[in-house]
Amino acid sequence: MERIQTPRAPLPAGHYSQAIKANGFVFVAGQLPFAPGPERRMPEGIEAQARQCLENLAAILEAAGSSVDRLTSVQLFIPDVALWGKVNAVYEAFMGEARPARTVVPTRDLHYGALIELNAVAVAD
C-alpha cells in the first residue's frame, strides 16, 4: 500500500491521504473544488468548481502513475439536482473518451459551501 500526495492538488486538511494505491488500484479521497496551494481558494460557480475537482483528480491520478483514461468509477456529490446538467457538460468535456462507471448523488450542503465533491477509483500502472 502506498500513500499518494502531490502539491498539484489541495493537500489534505484532515487525517487522510489524497489517494491510496493498493492492489493495482488508486483510491482517490473526496476532492472539494479547492485550487492547489495554501490559500484554499475555491472558484465561483458550478462549472468552475466541477472543472477544479476534475483537475485535482487528474493531478492525483498522475502522481499515482495512473490517469483519467484508467478510471473505473467516479462518484459526484452535488447539493442540488438542478446542477446536474451543468456538471455533466463539464464532466463530459473533461473526460473525453473515458467513460468510467459514474454515480451522481444529490445531497445536502457540502463542506465549506462547495457545489461539488468527488471521489474515484482508477487502475494503477
CATH of segment(s) 2-123: 3.30.1330.40
| Assigned C-alpha cell, 31 | 476532492
Q: pLDDT tens for residues 66-90?
A: 999 999 999 999 999 999 999 999 9
pTM, whole model, 2 decimals? 0.96
Dihedral Cα 51, 105, 30, 13, nearest 10 deg: 90
Segment (H or E) for 30: strand 25-31
Q: pLDDT tens for residues 29-59?
A: 999 999 998 888 999 999 999 999 999 999 9
Q: Indicate the pLDDT class of residue 100, thresholds 50, 70 and 90.
A: very high
Rounded Cα distance between 107 and 116, Å, is: 10
Nearest to 18 by CA among 45, 58, 76: 58
| Assigned C-alpha cell, 70 | 484508467
Rounded Cα distance between 48 and 112, Å, is: 16
Nearest to 101 by CA among 119, 78, 79: 119
DSSP state of 96: T
Q: Which sequence spans correspond to the domains of the chain?
A: 2-123
